[in-house]
Each structure stands twice: as structure tokens, then as C-alpha cells.
């Protein structure tokens, strides 16, 4: 503990070790007396001076830049012993000092902390809110802009958007669902605003791997082809739904008699539909229609087109039972040797039982693959058995099943419904099978 007077030369800072840059000086709780020397002002770096518990008699703080509330005890209780003139940011103290009230400063201190907490919350929240608004505006504009987008060019195709297709299919209801395929669902729809046209709307499930590619493939094929035995495309729709999700659909002419697969096999689940099964003449006509469609795709388009998924489920029948080949989701163009190489069967996704065996061995896509599928289709139409029938196992398939029966046991493998409906026509059934075998032998000799 120190006692005695404060040395006048303290301001020169020499008595405390020549510390010209002294920033803090604590002389509290001592028995020092006398006056604070004027030379203390020479310590220009002094920021803190503590004189607590000292019996100070006079204190002159005039013309500084002190901030805060002036105490009311000790020397500060005597207005004649203290001077704070020239310190504009002081407040409080005893009444005689005539300083402003400190309430405003206290209030500001109270609000400083909440603001420091609130501002970091408000700014990010505002940015997120603004971002949501901008995204919503962008999506709305995109929806309007893309509502009529189509992959089909030319003025021959209708312009339809998501809302119109939603209304046409009664909200894509289960009642309007007519089929489910590998990449999407098909709904029956009615375009009341467009001359009361009944259509089939194929909605692609874009969450399914390959669906987007299938949509693009069909657009690419259907935009430039037209034949009486191909399903007629009316338009396409590439847009956004009301939730902002990607929406893609193709709109076809509706085929009221459904698929050939239903005509051949629906009786297996519903015995009452046996009478609806096609007779021999109808089956032959369907075979001719499909052959005409393949001939057009393979030889009469600007580039050879391979369907890659020919099967009864992709053959649709109109009111007159005229066959129309549809579903070009796996179709391939064969434009040149280079493109042929690019169209390798890697990733080919046909249907088991109808895909040419060589595709499984890595062979390139070719029109001969469609010819093989067409041959299986003919055998299925005659026998009434799918190539995936439970009968075919342990090396036996539909092709071998028929080959073993020709020519002596043809009647044993014919679809039983033909035995009841076409007694006269069945007399020539052996000739039909002989013709089919002749066609098969011709392709075999050609190494196909």
C-alpha cells in the first residue's frame, strides 16, 4: 500500500519507468494524497485511470471526451469539488452539474443487444423469402412459356397444354386408365374443345429410368412418319404440372378395340370374353397389316427405322380391327454405318420372348430383329400361346414347339378357339404352317 503525495512529475511518466505509452494506471485502494499533477496530461496514450477508494477532495475532468454516467457518491457528490465542463457525452450525476438525463442512453443500451440478435435473423429470412418469391415467379413464367411446347414440328399438330389434358382425362382418373406400360400410363381422353375428339394420352413417368429417353425417341420417330398401319400421333406435350414438376405426354388417336394382346389372351382371366377372340381370317389380316407397317419402317422412310419392341401389346386395333403398330419408345434409326455402330444393342430393352436372341449376345440393332419378333408374333397368333407360357422351359420355346409339330401334328398346337370358329378354314391350316415354315427356312438359308 502506498501513502504520501502524488509526485508532480508523474505526468512525465519518468517515475514509473519512462513509460510514455502508458495506457492504464491504477492507484486505487492506497493512501495517496495531494493534487493530481497537470503534467499527467502528457501521457497521451493513457486510456484508463482508476482512483477508487481514494479520498479525493477535488477532481477536474474538464474538456475531455468522457462517455457515460457520472457517479453521485464521493467527490462527485460535491459540485464545488468537481468539474466536468466540455464533456458532451456525460450524463447523470448530481443536479447541480446540469447534465442530461441518462434514460435515453440506458434505453439504447437495452435495445442494442436485441438488435444484434434480431438483425442476423431478419436478413437471412428476408433473403430466403425473396428467393421463394423469385422462384415462384420464374416457375409461373416457365409454365406459361412451356405450356404449349411440343417435340413435333409443323402446323399439322394440335397445341395442347397440361391443363387441357388434365381436363380431357378427368384428372387422369383411374376410370380413364386403359393401360400401363414400361415408361408410363395411357389414359382415354376427350378433347371437347377440339371437335369432340377421343384420344389416348400416354403420360410418361419421368421418375422411371429411361422414360425421358423413350419420350424423345417416340418424338423423333413419329414426327416424320405416317402410314395407315401405324398409330396416328395427334400431338405431344412437354410442360410443367401445377406443382412445377416436369410433365411429358404423347397424344394418339384412340383405338377402341384395344390391343391384340387383349384379343388373344383376355379370356384367360375372363371366360366371358372367349367369343371376342379373333377368328383365323381376322388374325391373317392383322398379320398382313403388321407386315405392311414393318415394310414401311424398314424400306420406305427417309432412314431405316427399327421398332425393337414388336409384340401383341403394341399392336392396336381400330373399329374395323385394322392393326396399327404403336409404342416407338425403343425405336432406332439406322442412317449410316456410323450410326449403326452407335445403335448397338447395349441397353436394348425389348420384351422377353420377342427380342431376337442375337441381341443378348451383343449383336447390333438391325431390321432382322423386328423380323424375328414378327415371326414369334405369327406363331403366337396361331397357337394362342405367349412365348413366356409356363409350358416353355428346359430348352423348349415357342419356336421349337411349333417346329416339332409341323407338318404331322399341326392340329395339336392350333389355338383351340380356331377349332370351333373356322371349321372350313382349318382344312387348310397345314398349308398355313407349311408357308410359315417355308418363310422361316428362307431366312435361315440367308443366314438371318
Is residue 184 classed exposed, middle or buried when 0-12, 13-18 and 19+ CB atoms within 10 A define those classes?
A: buried
The phi and psi torsions of 408 (rounded to 5 degrees) equal: -80, -30
Q: Count Cβ atoms below 10 Å from residue 379 Cβ, excluding itself.
A: 21
Set 65, 107, 261, 309: catalytic member: 309
Listed in sequence order, the residues at least 6 apart from 391 whose beta carbon sits closer than 8 Å to its beta carbon are 385, 401
* Helix intervals (H) in 147-267: 162-168, 211-222, 260-265
Non-local CB neighbours of 40 within 8 Å, separated by 6+ positions: 10, 11, 46
Beta-ladder partners of 82: 59
Concerning whether 412 is annotated as a catalytic residue, the answer is no
Secondary structure of 340-396 in HEC code, one letter for each residue: HHHCECCCCCCCCCCCCHHHHHCCECCHHHHHHHHHHHHHHHHHCCCCCCCCCCCCC
Residues serving a catalytic function are 309
Amino acid at each position: 500500500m502506498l501513502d504520501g503525495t502524488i509526485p508532480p512529475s508523474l505526468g512525465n511518466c519518468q517515475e514509473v519507468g519512462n513509460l510514455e505509452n502508458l495506457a492504464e494506471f491504477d492507484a486505487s485502494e492506497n493512501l495517496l494524497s495531494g493534487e493530481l499533477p497537470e503534467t499527467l496530461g502528457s501521457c497521451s496514450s493513457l486510456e484508463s485511470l482508476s482512483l477508487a477508494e481514494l479520498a479525493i477532495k477535488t477532481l477536474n475532468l474538464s474538456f475531455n471526451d468522457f462517455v457515460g454516467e457520472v457517479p453521485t457518491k464521493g467527490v462527485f457528490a460535491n459540485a464545488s469539488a468537481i468539474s466536468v465542463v466540455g464533456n458532451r457525452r456525460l450524463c447523470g450525476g448530481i443536479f447541480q452539474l446540469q447534465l442530461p438525463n441518462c434514460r435515453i442512453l440506458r434505453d439504447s443500451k437495452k435495445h442494442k443487444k436485441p438488435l444484434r440478435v434480431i438483425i442476423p435473423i431478419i436478413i437471412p429470412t428476408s433473403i430466403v423469402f425473396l428467393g421463394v418469391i423469385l422462384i415462384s415467379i420464374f416457375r409461373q413464367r416457365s409454365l406459361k412459356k412451356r405450356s404449349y411446347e411440343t417435340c413435333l414440328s409443323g402446323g399439322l399438330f394440335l397445341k395442347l397444354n397440361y391443363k387441357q389434358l388434365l381436363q380431357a382425362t378427368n384428372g387422369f382418373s383411374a376410370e380413364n386408365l386403359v393401360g400401363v406400360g414400361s415408361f408410363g400410363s395411357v389414359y382415354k381422353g376427350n378433347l371437347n374443345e377440339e371437335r369432340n375428339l377421343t384420344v389416348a394420352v400416354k403420360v410418361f413417368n419421368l421418375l422411371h429410368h429411361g422414360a425421358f429417353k423413350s419420350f424423345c425417341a417416340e418424338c423423333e420417330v413419329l414426327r416424320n412418319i405416317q402410314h395407315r398401319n401405324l398409330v396416328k400421333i395427334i400431338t405431344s406435350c412437354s410442360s410443367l404440372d401445377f406443382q412445377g414438376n416436369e410433365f411429358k405426354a404423347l397424344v394418339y388417336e384412340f383405338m377402341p378395340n384395344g390391343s391384340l394382346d387383349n384379343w388373344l389372351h383376355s379370356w384367360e382371366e375372363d371366360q366371358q370374353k372367349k367369343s371376342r377372340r379373333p377368328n383365323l381370317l381376322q388374325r391373317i389380316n392383322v398379320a398382313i397389316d403388321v407386315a405392311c407397317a414393318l415394310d414401311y419402317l424398314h424400306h420406305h422412310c427417309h432412314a431405316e427405322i427399327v421398332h425393337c419392341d414388336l409384340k401383341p401389346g403394341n399392336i392396336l386395333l381400330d373399329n374395323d380391327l385394322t392393326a396399327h403398330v404403336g409404342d416407338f419408345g425403343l425405336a432406332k434409326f439406322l442412317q449410316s454405318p456410323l450410326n449403326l455402330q452407335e445403335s448397338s444393342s447395349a441397353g436394348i430393352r425389348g420384351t422377353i420372348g420377342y427380342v431376337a436372341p442375337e441381341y443378348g449376345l451383343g449383336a447390333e440393332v438391325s431390321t432382322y430383329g423386328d423380323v424375328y419378333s414378327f415371326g414369334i408374333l405369327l406363331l403366337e397368333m396361331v397357337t394362342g400361346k405367349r412365348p413366356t407360357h409356363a409350358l416353355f422351359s428346359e430348352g423348349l420355346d415357342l419356336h421349337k414347339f411349333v417346329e416339332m409339330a409341323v407338318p404331322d401334328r399341326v392340329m395339336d398346337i392350333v389355338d383351340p378357339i380356331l377349332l370351333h370358329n373356322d371349321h372350313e378354314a382349318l382344312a387348310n391350316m397345314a398349308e398355313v404352317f407349311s408357308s410359315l415354315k417355308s418363310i422361316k427356312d428362307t431366312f435361315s438359308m440367308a443366314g438371318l
